[in-house]
Amino acid sequence: MHRIRTACLTACLLLAGPMLGGSLLHAQTSADEQAIRTAMQRSADDWNRGDLDSFATVYKNSPDTIFMGSTVSRGYAGMLKTYKAHYATAEARGVLTFSNVEVHLLDANVATMIGNCHIERTSGKNDDCLYSLIWQKTAEGWKIVLDHSTAAPGKKS
């Protein structure tokens, strides 16, 4: 009888182990995904307020941070300088929104995000893009280390 109880207890623990680990992993995944989504929304809010310094903090402040569009550039400082030059006015910035956002955690410290962005301007010269981002979990939280953004085909207003 003791062997049967021991075998049943062992089987229950073996079956429950992955489920318990899975729910703990899912809880961590959900927390990380939410942290990334929150950081992204905060960056849009900062953009829409005209605070480009705060907007940029969603990126890792590193010379190795990569930006891909029509060209490839590297470095946080250069990115911030470019944004300030091209989006200095409220009309140039417009109102930034993100849609169709998907977050995919690759491991405990790396995630990808894909989605669409839209900049609505009062002039009607709106912009739409597709983006893919690579996020890294750092001591300062989740930060973008690679940003690949491109104009959405057929979406330029």
CA atoms of 42 and 60, how far apart (whole Å)? 15
Domains of the chain: 32-151 (3.10.450.50)
Query: Residues near 147 by Cβ (< 8 Å), separated by ≥ 6?
Result: 59, 65, 66, 67, 68, 131, 133
Higher-confidence position of 58 and 70: 58
Is pLDDT of 113 > 70?
yes
CA atoms of 151 and 130, how far apart (whole Å)? 6
| pLDDT at residue 24 in the model | 46
Is pLDDT of 47 > 90?
yes
| pLDDT at residue 152 in the model | 83
Q: Which residue has the tokens 């969603």?
A: 58
H or E stretch at 26: helix 2-49
CA atoms of 27 and 56, how far apart (whole Å)? 28
- Name the maximum alpha-carbon separation found in the chain: 81
Is pLDDT of 15 > 50?
no
CB atoms within 10 A of CB 86: 10
| pLDDT at residue 29 in the model | 66
Which residue, among 88, 105, 90, 125, has the nearest Cα to 34 in the 3D structure? Answer: 105
Q: pTM for this structure? A: 0.79
Mean pLDDT of 81-106: 96
Burial class (CB in 10 A: 0-12, 13-18, 19+), 15: exposed
pLDDT band at 153 (very low <50, low <70, confident <90, very high): confident
CB atoms within 10 A of CB 1: 5
Q: Count how many residues are written for the chain.
A: 157
Is pLDDT of 63 > 70?
yes
